[in-house]
Amino acid sequence: MSRPEDTVMVYTCVPRTCTSTMEFPKPDMRFFTGEVDVYPLNTEKGVGRALHVLVYKLKPTSQEILRKTVTALHDENMCQRYIGTVFNRKVELPRGQLLVEKSPKEGEGSLTYRYSGICLEAVPAVKVGFMPLFEMAESLMMPGEKGFRGVLVNKYDNRDSVGWHSDRDPEQVEITGVICISVGDGTVSFRRKKNVPGAEHFVLRKDIEVKDGEVYIMFGEEFQQYIEHAYLPLKKNVDGATRTSLTFRRFSKHKAQKRKKNSATQSNKTPADEEAHTAQVAKKARTGSHGHQEDEC
């Protein structure tokens, strides 16, 4: 789903972050307020790729839809904790996770996502009420860009975290590469990559406070090639501290094809099959059955 031409405008950056002008997606007033914070990551204007983090603010009505959807996920314990491989050691990853996929196109297999020795199998967006959230995220795309294939949900309790990484998909060329919706407050950190030619044009590190109901975009061509990001542990325990992030990504086409090849019946799933799969994910989470899944994907 691409946006019409009149939804793109030249914004004057928020004074506390920068003073230059650049074309950014105009917030769709059905979902967002008109306020946008712009954080440039370049150390010198006009040198290197123009990379920014853009922060948009959801309207109260949109925030209510978001909270109800995410609360329903957590009530069913849909976000599982997995055992992964980190630095050649098996550890429980410090966050709960769920992969949600938009309706696949004809000929596409179901979406899976592999990393750190685990494999996430997606549940359909319609089964967990995510279609309105896809509409919110895709309203921020630039004209002609490819829509999002899925969303990775990360649930952080107290001192949970995710270390420095990038979300690069091999086929990704869109300038609005990754969009993340935040439920709960938190600090997302960005830094330039080491030993990557051209990365020296970007900041050593920038910490950005992301509030409940805010949406940030990692904006710019080849953003993930030069910049990595993290959600680092809180310095001390805070009772009841919880944040959920919904990261909308296009994912690589070949990952869906690989899943299709390995599962001859996957593309012929009936609504009853999808219902059973969603229930199975919820059951695994409730019972703690979340071991190694490499053979299942």
Number of independent structural domains in the chain: 1
Other Cβ atoms closer than 10 A to 49: 17
- Across-strand partners of 227? 192
Q: Over range 220-246, report the average pLDDT.
A: 88
The residues, any chain, with a CB within 8 Å of residue 211's CB and separated by 6 or more, are 57, 182, 185
Window from 58-72, 98-112, 166-180 with minimum mean pLDDT = 166-180
Whether 152 contacts 113, CB under 8 Å: yes
* Owner of token pair 């059951």: 283
* Owner of token pair 């922060």: 55
pLDDT in tens, 25-44: 999 999 999 999 999 999 98
Indicate whether 247 pLDDT > 80: yes
CA dist 233 and 160 (Å) reads: 6
pLDDT in tens, 253-281: 544 444 444 433 334 455 555 555 555 55
Q: How far apart are the first and last CA of the chain?
A: 28
Supply the range of the domain harboring residue 33.
5-296
Angle at 267 between CA 1 and CA 104, to 5 degrees: 10
The residues, any chain, with a CB within 8 Å of residue 18's CB and separated by 6 or more, are 38, 39, 40
Query: CATH no. for residue 65?
Result: 2.60.120.590
Indicate whether 18 pLDDT > 80: no
Q: Over range 67-76, report the average pLDDT.
A: 96
Indicate whether 48 pLDDT > 50: yes
